[in-house]
Amino acid sequence: MDFLFSFTPLIPLFPLLAFAVIVLFTYRYNRLSSDIAIGSIALSTVLAWAVLLATLLGGEHIQVEGWQLRVPWLPAGTTVLDLGFAVDGFTAAMLFMVPFVCLMIFIYSQGYMKLGQPDQDPRYARFFAYISLFAAGMLGLVVARDLVLLFVSWEIMGLCSYLLIGFWSFRKADDEHHIDEAQVIRARKAALKAFITTRIGDVLLFSGIALLYSYTGTVTLREIFRPETLETLQTISLLGMPAVTVIALLVFGGAVGKSAQFPLHVWLPDAMEGPTPVSALIHAATMVAAGVYLVARMLPLFIAGFEVADAPALHWVAIVGAITALLGATIGLAQDDIKRVLAYSTISQLGYMMMGLGLGSLVAGIFHLLTHAFFKALLFLGAGSVIHGVEHGHHVAAHADHVHTEHFNPNDMKAMGGLRHRMPYTFVAYLAGTLALVGIVPFAGFWSKDEILAEAFHLWRADGALNLPFWVWLAGTLGAFFTALYMGRQLGLVFWGEPRHTAARHAHESPSSMTIPLIVLALFALLFGFVNAPFLGSPLHHFMGGVHEASEVVHAEAVPFNFTVAAISTVLAVAGLLLGWLLYRNYRPGQVEPFQVVLGPVFTLLRNKYYIDELYQQVIIRPVVWLSNFCFNIDDRWIIDPFVDLVGAAGRVASDIVRVLDSVVVDRWFVEGTAQLFNAAGRGLRYSETGRVQNYLLVVAVTILLLLGLYLYF
Amino acid sequence: MSSEFAFVGILAVFATLLPVAGLAVAWLVRPKKPNPIKQSTYECGIETRGEAWVQFRACYYVFALLFVVFDVEAAFLLPWAVAYNQLALYAVVEAVIFVAILALALVYAWRKDALRWT
Amino acid sequence: MAIEQALQIFVFVILTLMTLGGGLAVVTSRNLFHAALSLILSLAGVVGYYVLLDAGFLAIVQLLIYIGAISILILFSIMLTRGLMTPRQVQRNEQWWIAALVVFLTFVVLIVALWQMVWPIADDEALRTPNVAISQLGEALVGPYAIPFEIISVLLLVALVGAIVLARETENNQGSHAEAGSSE
Amino acid sequence: MEALIRWLVDTFPPLSEALARLIVYVLYSGVLAFVAPVLIVVAYTYMERKVLARIQDRVGPNRAGPLGVLQGFADAVKMLTKEDVTPACADRVVFNLAPVLATVAAILVFAVLPVAPGVIGADLQAGVLYVVAIGALGEVAALMAGWSSDNKFALLGAFRAVAQLIAYEIPIVLAILAVVLAAGSMQLGAIVAAQDIPFALVLPVAFLVLLVASIAEIGRSPFDLLEAESEIVAGYHVEYSGMKFAFFFIGEYMHLFASAGVITTLFLGGWRGPLASSDSLLGVLLGFIYFVVKTTAVIWIMMWVRGTLFRIRIDHLLDFAWKFLVPLGLILVVAVAVALKLPAVNSPALRWIALLGANVIAALLMMIVISLLARRSRSAALRAVAGAD
Amino acid sequence: MAIPLSWWLTVAAALFAIGLYGVLSRRNAIGVLLGIELMLNAANINLVAFWRFITPQALTGQVFAIFVIGIAAAEAAAGLAIIISAYRRRRTVVVDELDTMRW
């Protein structure tokens, strides 16, 4: 048993090795580097599942205690920070999903990047290097035992997201791949935006970790969550609130940044500039999930806060989650770009997960995270193959009539339509993903979303008051309705109706390397729900629930299946889906958007994303720029330059004085004076040299006499 | 120690007595008829001319020099010779070097033809 | 023992007369040859001193080297550098009276120093048995004093070479001198 | 000598040991200073004339006294009565002092000679060196004589005499050094004791060198340039006449006997003979007889040499000394030193063989060197001749 | 032993003084050399006297004296050679006339 566990450190290591090998050696040979990347992630998947198997077999003890390995590596002052790997039930679950999804996406991107075809992406190997690094970062985060390794992998993911979003930003205009200059600029801006917003979150996270370390003296999660350390944290008050709450909020800030929750969600839609597999990998399955994983991992901290303070951090998590869910869902309604719709859908789903965690139920949140990873990855890949097909169609069209039409955006849904006949596999997979996302009964989405709503309903029912759980439940159900609405709209626009553009007409199915992963993901999206189906006794609950038994704060046992909640959510889901589908089934190009007719001004609001981007632009970016200009002026014009000139002038004056002094005093008095002195002395002494030996001897004798005399005298 | 030399001293006294006595007797006995001719320096009959001039020969001085050098060498080597039986092998080497260096002096004089009797 | 000591003192007095008398003669005599001979007399006196001081070997070495070699050398150089019987010159240069004064004062100072100083005379027993066997002397010469032993040989070599160069160099002058001599 | 002193002390109780010693010393030195010179001069002048005559196939002095034995005394009387002329501008003091010094130097050598077993004047620790040192006084006497007689020829003679004496003193010293190396001590008594095998057989080369050098030191026969009649007027004692000249003559003969005595002591085993031993009076007498016989033998050799060899020119004489005898002496000393230190040498017999071998090697080496030099100088001379014509 | 150390030192000092006077006052170069010889001998006497009275057992005194004699010999040889060559050159050995080294 233990032998299997010893593989854990290898899981993140293989992709990291792949990254190194590709970057250092094989960046020129595209096929080889992609094979290495895929091979490494496949190995990691196998190892991860072996570890999963070990934890399953290990039984209760392993699931709670978990295995850990301590490697002292960074001597920091007196304490030695040790790099540790830990696996428990919770980690095992993640280990099941993350590597597998990465594997599917790697295989998909091989096709997406058109390996071997004439217009293969010139920086193909580099792409695989980045995603391998990203996979290593994500896996490292999952198996990390202490905050340091967690933060390091967190940063790696941030870096990779920046690189991958901006992947098409280095393209030279003349490249035959028809990425236009505007695209390049947008990509560059999006990458920068993503990096800075997540960076804000990271700063909060880092300060949280720093505070935690300063108080508890350790970074290992296990030591932090020991009851007595939590007590000490509760007692210490910081900024008027108990320290544990402040730290929890800071950590949650990090999660908000990374998982694009309400205040810091602006970067995710823009992140769609990156290649679709990137979006799928980073902005659907793993990275954004990392924030949720972090909060889940630090849940005992939040719970400790829950006991003490009146406005505990946990409530804030739930509130932000709810707001984000509603926000994401509503904006999704008004988007034209196929990937942006999915992006806002991801934001709302993340909101759901935060709501789940906010209610204190780890299992609900994480279960939703797992299911969401599968069907959201599926949807993104599906979108990707749609875009791929449309692009291909556009090429064919362009060549056929030798006319370069004005710029054509393959992502624009308005230009698509009627693809269900042209791209059947993609259509089927996309349909499965949609059903799962919306939460139709037998599919994964239903069980996980319902779990959260049931949790909320149960809590609300427990104490009856219109308290937070009630609002959470309400937001959840409304969200579910809006999700179904925009997914139906998307289906109608993309797959139904007539192709509204020549490109759509010529679009055709993607190659097998892209469709196979779709099919596999589709299967998972559909069947994964049963992992935690209540009627099966919610096995996941047992498998993961134990982790927080120790904290016994929040009711850990699975919430009984609540029929009414399920009924309400399913009805709303089906209604939304049908409504969307009907409205947009045969939408003709140029026709006024039905929603617009229904919502009117609200629709334009939604289309502009509640003007949040513009708000930030005015409120934050402008003042900062002004401030920097101001400092520059102060520095250069009014303080430093004059000071330098002053020093120069002083130096010149001093040297003049010295010159004068030197010529007058030194030359005239000392030099000539001494020369004359010696001259005179020399002349005087000359007469003593008589040349006669005996005179000298006489002098010698006299001196000897004198010396002897002196000697005797004393 | 000094007792041995006592005999030398006494012998020296007696040795000087012998010629002094002899001369005294001779001085008493012999006829004394000094005359200028007899007292002139004997020049195989030829009148002496100028001072007694000696042709300065460098070699006289060189011989004296070599004599001094070898004399000092002998004085130094004799104690070594006396203590020779008790000394170990290194003594031989040292003495050989000593003799070699001074032989060098002789060789130098010889090569430089200083020994030539003009 | 009384006779022994009386004898020694008597001999000491005679030797002192010889040495100091010879010394004075060396210094004051007009004829250089007489000066050299009185030097020999003085050196003979020193030989006697060494005998009295129980340094037998030293006495003989002094006799051999000083009287046997050096005085011969001196006599040679006297005869070689001056014509026979040069007219009597006053042997004292003009600064002799200063020298006399200084010398006398030095002598006085030395004597005072001697009498004031308390010499660490060895104990009587050691005084009685002073004789140092010549073989000990030989061992010392080759043992601890090996280096001076070798250096003295080098010194003699150097002196000889130098002297020969100076003397020989006069060879060609001698030729000229001879003509000069004969031409006079 | 010690035995005598003890005998005296026993027989005359009032005598203290020191006083007895004093008396004995006075007696012995008296004998040496007065009796010995006369006897020696008389005997050996007679002997010399007889030997030379025999060599030149003539009778020699036989008029004065039976067989001419009294010839010596006749000479002595003649010397006493001859007028002693002192040159006008001679340096009177030095002129008179020279003969005295010459005689004293000769006599002083006897102080150290072990005439008979136990009978020795002063067995000095550095006896051998004393002999050499006293020899040096002779040169001073020569110089004094040459200088004081204000005679150009005398001075020239003195210079040559001293040059010769100097040249031959070094080989003597080196030969003696070899002997001291072999004997291990400088005391003549000890050297005699060390000569179980007479050193002449052990160190033949040293013996020859000493013999030749002594002959030259005395100024006899082949090297008698000093007072050779046909040369520059009888050397430095040209201005001497009468008794002063006699003392030079006595000095020379004493020096002859002394040198012979030294040679016998060093090389022929001095008084050692079959029965000679210091315990009995008879033994002492026998020792003395042996000593005199050996010394006479050596002197006879010298006279024989005088009779046969021709006179050597001054520059050959000096070259022979400096370029042959001195190098030979040096090589000899080194050879003996090395031979003694050879690891195998432990028993006396082996020492004898080693030393003999060393001497032979030294001689051979010298022969080779000399022949080389000779050939080179001869070829040079030939070239010069060839070049000339 | 009859003669105490101080007598020896006195005699040596006297000899030294005489030698010094000779060096300072003789007109003839060789005269100066004779003076030097005297001074050297005076030093030697002191050396041997000290050896005899202070460290009779040690050998250093005598060995030193021998070396001094040896060195004196070398010194005399060299000195006389210089004087002779000076005589050849200048036809004089009077020290006063040999003063070319003056200003």
Kindly report, residue by residue over A363-393, the tens digit of the pLDDT. Answer: 788 888 888 888 888 888 888 888 888 877 7
D126 interfacial to chain C (CB closer than 8 Å): yes
Which chain D residues are Cβ-neighbours of B25 within 8 angstroms?
A: 80, 243
Checking if the pLDDT of A558 tops 80, the result is no
- Smallest CA–CA distance, residue C32 to chain D, in Å, is 12
Which tens digit of pLDDT belongs to each residue from D49-106?
888 888 888 887 777 777 777 877 888 888 777 777 777 777 788 888 888 998 999 9
Which residue out of C71, C74, C81 would a mutagenesis test of the E interface target, given it has the greatest number of E Cβ atoms within 10 Å?
A: C81
**Domain membership flag for residue B86:** yes
Which residue of E27, E36, E80, E99 is the best one to mutate when testing the C interface, meaning the one whose CB has the most C CBs within 10 A? E80
Confidence at C44, pLDDT banded by 50, 70, 90:
very high
**A705: contact with C, CB 8 A cutoff:** yes
For residues D255-279, give the mean pLDDT. Answer: 86
Tokens standing for residue A676? 């004359």
Domain with B16, as residue range(s), is: 2-111
Do chain A and B touch: 3 or more Cβ pairs under 8 angstroms?
no
D358: left (phi over 0), alpha (psi -120 to 50) or beta: alpha
Segment C5-32 mean pLDDT = 88
Contacts of E32 in chain A (CB under 8 A): 693-694
Q: Do C61 and D129 touch (CB under 8 A)?
A: yes
Residue A310: CB atoms within 10 Å: 7
Interface of D with B in 315-344 (CB under 8 A): 315, 318-319, 322-323, 326-327, 330, 333-334, 337-338, 340-341
Q: Per the domain annotation, does B117 fall within a domain? A: no
Q: Which residue of C has its CA nearest to A712?
A: C113
From chain D, the residues in CB contact with C71 under 8 A are 140
Give D-chain residues touching C76 at CB under 8 angstroms: 159, 162
3-class secondary structure, A471: helix
> What pLDDT is recorded for position A279?
82
Are residues B71 and E66, on separate chains, in Cβ contact within 8 Å?
no
Pinpoint the alpha helices (H) of E26-92: 29-54, 60-90
CA distance D81 to chain B (A): 5
Long-range CB pairs of E90-95, under 8 A, 24+ apart, other chains included: E93/C81, E93/C82, E93/E28, E93/E29, E93/E30, E94/E27, E94/E28, E94/E29, E95/A692, E95/A693, E95/A694, E95/C93, E95/E26, E95/E27, E95/E28, E95/E29, E95/E32
Interface touch B64/C68, C-beta < 8 Å: no
| pLDDT at A466 > cutoff 90 | no
pLDDT at A548 over 60: no
pLDDT at position E4: 83
Is residue C66's pLDDT more than 70?
yes
> Is the pLDDT reported for residue E86 higher than 90?
no
Best of D39, D125, D181 to disrupt the B interface by mutation (most B CBs within 10 Å)? D181
Chains adjacent to E (≥3 CB pairs closer than 8 angstroms): A, B, C
Displacement of CA A146 from its chain's centroid (Å): 18
The answer to whether A694 contacts E23, with C-beta atoms less than 8 Å apart, is yes
B-chain CB neighbours of D149 within 8 Å are 41
Which chain E residues touch A694 with a CB distance below 8 Å? 23-25, 32, 95-96
The answer to whether the Cβ–Cβ distance between C65 and B67 falls below 8 Å is no
Largest CA distance in chain D: 89
CATH number (domain holding residue B47): 1.20.58.1610
- E and D: touch, per 3+ CB pairs < 8 A? no
Could you tell me which chain C residue has the CA closest to the CA of A702?
C102
3-state secondary structure of A87: strand
Q: Is the separation of the CB atoms in D1 and D118 below 8 Å?
A: yes
Taking one residue from B and the other from D, the number of pairs with CB-CB distance under 8 angstroms is: 219
Max mean pLDDT among A221-235, A558-572, B62-76 falls in: B62-76
Assigned domain for B46 exists = yes
Q: How far apart are CA A469 and CA A135, in angstroms?
A: 36
Q: Do C79 and D147 touch (CB under 8 A)?
A: yes
Query: Within an 8 Å CB–CB cutoff, is residue B60 touching chain E?
Result: no
Tell me the per-residue pLDDT of D145-199, one tens digit each, with 9 for 90 and over.
888 877 777 787 888 888 888 889 999 999 999 999 888 888 888 888 888 888 8
What pLDDT was estimated at residue C171? 47
Task: Name the minimum distance, in Å, from the CA of E73 to any CA of chain C.
Answer: 6
Q: Count CB-CB contacts under 10 A for residue A43.
A: 20
User: Which residue is closest to B63 within chain E, CA to CA?
Assistant: E77
Least confident among A206-215, A266-275, A398-407, E70-79: A398-407
Nearest in space to A694 (alpha carbons), one of D121, E96, D172:
E96
Record the tokens describing residue A391, joined without a space.
Answer: 């692009």
Which residues on chain C are in Cβ contact (under 8 Å) with B16? none
Higher-confidence residue of A394 and D187: namely: D187
Q: What is the per-residue pLDDT across B4-29, written as a single tens digit (0 to 9) for each?
A: 788 888 888 888 888 888 888 877 87
- How many contacts, defined by CB atoms under 8 Å, are there between B and C? 153
Instruction: Compute the nearest-CA separation of B7 from chain C (Å).
Output: 12
Least confident interval from A98-107, A181-190, A544-553, B91-100: A544-553
A68-84 residue pLDDT tens = 666 666 666 666 666 77
Which SS3 state, helix, strand or coil, does residue A337 take?
strand
D89 inside 8 A of chain C by CB: yes
Whether residue B35 lies within 8 A of chain C, CB to CB, comes out as no
Domain ranges of chain D: 1-80, 82-388
Asked if A683 reaches chain E (Cβ–Cβ under 8 Å), the answer is no
| Helix/strand/coil percent split, chain D, to 5 | 75, 0, 25
Q: Is A113 exposed, middle or buried, given 0-12, 13-18 or 19+ CB atoms closer than 10 A?
A: buried
Distance CA B57, CA D302 (A): 31
pLDDT at position A132 over 60: yes
Q: Is D257 on the interface with C (CB under 8 A)?
A: no
A28 in E contact zone (CB under 8 Å)? no
Ordered domains of chain E (ranges, CATH): 27-93 (1.10.287.3510)
Provide the shortest C-alpha distance from residue C101 to chain B (in Å): 36
C85–chain A nearest CA distance, Å: 25
Lowest-confidence segment of A370-379, D231-240, E86-95 by average pLDDT: D231-240
Q: Do B55 and C178 touch (CB under 8 A)?
A: yes
Q: What is the mean pLDDT of residues A589-603?
A: 75
Average pLDDT value for residue range A536-555: 56
SS3 A376: helix
Question: Could you say which of D30, D186, D250 has the minimum Cβ distance to residue B82?
Answer: D186
In a domain, B91, yes or no: yes
Q: What is C106-150 written as a DSSP string? A: HHHHHHHHHHHS---PPPHHHHH-----HHHHHHHHHTTTHHHHH
Instruction: Please indicate if any CB of chain C lies within 8 Å of the CB of A711.
Output: yes
Which residue type occupies A209?
I
Average pLDDT over all residues of chain A: 79
Q: Which two tokens stand for residue D322?
A: 């400096």
For residue D159, the chain B residue with the least C-alpha distance is B60
Our CA-based measurement puts residue B29 at a distance from the nearest CA of chain C, in whole angstroms, of 30
Give the position of tokens 């401030």: A627
DSSP structure string for A563-607: HHHHHHHHHHHHHHHHHHHHHHTTPPTTPPPHHHHHHTHHHHHHH
Residue B43 in this model has a pLDDT that exceeds 60: no
D125 vs C56, C63, C72: nearest CB: C56
- Candidate from A51-65, A572-586, D285-299 with smallest mean pLDDT: A51-65
What is the per-residue burial (b if ≥16 Cβ within 10 Å, else e) of C11-39?
bbeebbebbbebbbbbbbbebbbbbbbbb
